[in-house]
């Protein structure tokens, strides 16, 4: 599942100016790839990526100036394919009259920006990659704990939402409750957000639906966050072995992104909010190069060596 994006969405979120074709901004954008039509200006259309946004910069417009009116109009008409969403002209460059005519004939909008081609290409790619990425729904709660995105998972009724509410009360921020929509921003980054219908809302058994932003303020919620760590809540059982030293290195793969994972036993009397908060801080320490397990191992080895010398 992926979001639908129109040229109007692109204009709003990437801050582009509509130079022509305001009535055609409902055209869909179906790919995050951006085309720089260089070969096309020479008349080579065998592999023309028509569904892409066509970006014209200094190089393309300079080349176009050396073409005759009829040559350029013919090329621009070929570039204005039915599936082409829009043309973007960078660096506040003037739009060739031939492009204006061909785009108007095919009801394709033309957008402009003062940014350079490299900068606007990067901005559009970043926005479209996130919006058009394949999404997966994960059952759990996503909370930002001091900058660490923690996805709390576990069986229904294990206490995920109640624990997340306690974390919010401790000053952390809710991203999504019950259902988290995740997508891979790149090969190493997983991003989660709440479905539109569930934004800022939590379900607490015995109370019902609560609006976290209304009760705790705008600072208690986030629109989206990276999924840095997965904390899985498991009902405690005496015959189940849990990681006591934190050296097992468990992970979970979602949308081909590998995320570190820890499992926490749920038992009466345990303060899960503090434990999860500590897990997030421990994860941050590890990313900064400090590993408490390694420190313990070193201390233990040193103690063994000292005792061996005494013997």
In this chain, the answer to whether the domains covering 5-132 and 137-295 adopt an identical fold is no
Q: According to the model, what pLDDT value does residue 240 have?
A: 62
For residues 60 and 34, what is the distance between their CA atoms, to the nearest angstrom? 14
Cβ contacts of 4-8, under 8 Å, gap ≥ 24: 4/28, 5/29, 5/128, 5/131, 5/132, 7/85, 7/86, 7/109, 7/111
- Three-state secondary-structure class, residue 143: strand
In CATH, what is the architecture of 5-132?
Answer: 3-Layer(aba) Sandwich (3.40)
Residue 219 marked as a ligand binder: no
Ranges of each domain in the chain: 5-132, 137-295
Calculate ∠ Cα 145-180-221, nearest 5°: 45
In what side-by-side order are the strands of the sheet with 179-184?
A: 135-139, 179-184, 190-193, 224-226
Q: According to the model, what pLDDT value does residue 305 have?
A: 64
For residues 150 and 229, what is the distance between their CA atoms, to the nearest angstrom? 5
Q: Name the pTM for this structure.
A: 0.74
Residue positions annotated with a catalytic role: 139, 160, 178, 244
Is residue 73 a contact partner of residue 100, using CB atoms and an 8 Å limit?
no
The segment with the largest mean pLDDT, out of 78-82, 126-130, 279-283, 306-310, is 78-82
CA distance from start to end of the chain: 66
The better pLDDT of the pair 311, 164 is held by 164
Residue 203 marked as a ligand binder: yes
Residue 149 marked as a ligand binder: no
Residue 269 marked as a ligand binder: no
Q: Top-level CATH class of 137-295?
A: alpha beta
How confident is the model over 21-37, as a mean pLDDT? 96
Residue 160 marked as a ligand binder: yes
The single residue listed with the structure tokens 């704990």 is 145
Q: For the segment 132-150, what is each residue's pLDDT rounded down to a tens digit?
A: 988 999 999 999 999 999 9
pLDDT > 90 in the chain, percent: 74
């Amino acid at each position: 599942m992926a979001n639908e994006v129109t040229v109007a969405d692109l204009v709003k979120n990437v801050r582009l100016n509509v130079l022509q074709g305001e009535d055609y901004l409902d055209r869909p954008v179906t790919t995050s790839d951006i085309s720089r039509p260089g070969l096309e200006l020479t008349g080579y259309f065998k592999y023309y990526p028509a569904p892409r946004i066509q970006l014209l910069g200094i190089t393309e417009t300079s080349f176009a100036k050396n073409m005759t009116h009829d040559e350029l109009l013919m090329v621009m008409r070929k570039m204005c394919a039915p599936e082409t969403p829009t043309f973007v002209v960078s660096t506040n460059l003037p739009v060739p009259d031939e492009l204006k005519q061909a785009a108007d004939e095919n009801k394709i909008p033309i957008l402009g920006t003062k940014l350079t081609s490299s900068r606007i290409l990067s901005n559009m790619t970043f926005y479209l990659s996130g919006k058009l990425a394949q999404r997966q729904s994960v059952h759990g709660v996503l909370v930002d704990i001091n900058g660490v995105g923690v996805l709390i998972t576990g069986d229904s009724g294990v206490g995920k939402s109640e624990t997340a509410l306690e974390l919010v009360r401790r000053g952390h921020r809710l991203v999504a409750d019950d259902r988290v929509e995740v997508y891979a921003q790149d090969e190493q980054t997983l991003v989660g957000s709440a479905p539109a219908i569930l934004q800022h809302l939590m379900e607490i058994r015995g109370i019902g639906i609560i609006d976290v932003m209304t009760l705790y303020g705008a600072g208690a919620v986030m629109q989206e966050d990276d999924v840095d760590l997965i904390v899985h809540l498991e009902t405690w059982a005496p015959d189940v072995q849990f990681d006591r030293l934190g050296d097992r290195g468990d992970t979970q793969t979602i949308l081909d992104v590998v995320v570190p994972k820890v499992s926490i036993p749920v038992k009466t009397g345990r303060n899960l909010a503090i434990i999860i908060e500590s897990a997030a801080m421990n994860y941050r320490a590890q990313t900064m190069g400090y590993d408490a397990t390694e420190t313990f191992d070193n201390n233990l080895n040193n103690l063994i060596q000292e005792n061996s010398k005494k013997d």
